[in-house]
Amino acid sequence: MRLITAHKIMISSAILFGGFFTAWSANNYAAEGQSTALTLSVLSGAATVGLVFYFRSFLRKNRK
């Protein structure tokens, strides 16, 4: 496996986990109303969006 392929897999899995964690934290906030869950949801959502933009630029840069 090439290093670029491994990097794509790792970024994709981080995006999926980030989306899941964002949804899970938002669900916890809706159920319990804790501000910690809201903070986690917002921060993990922002990090996930950042990873999506990074992944898109990574794919553009490494086209053959």
Over residues 11-55, the pLDDT tens digits come to 999 999 999 999 999 999 999 999 999 999 999 999 999 999 999
Q: In the structure encoding, which two tokens stand for residue 53, read together?
A: 């933009």
Domain ranges of the chain: 3-61
End-to-end CA separation in angstroms for the chain:
17
Q: What is the pTM of this model?
A: 0.88
Distance of CA 27 to the CA centre of its chain: 17
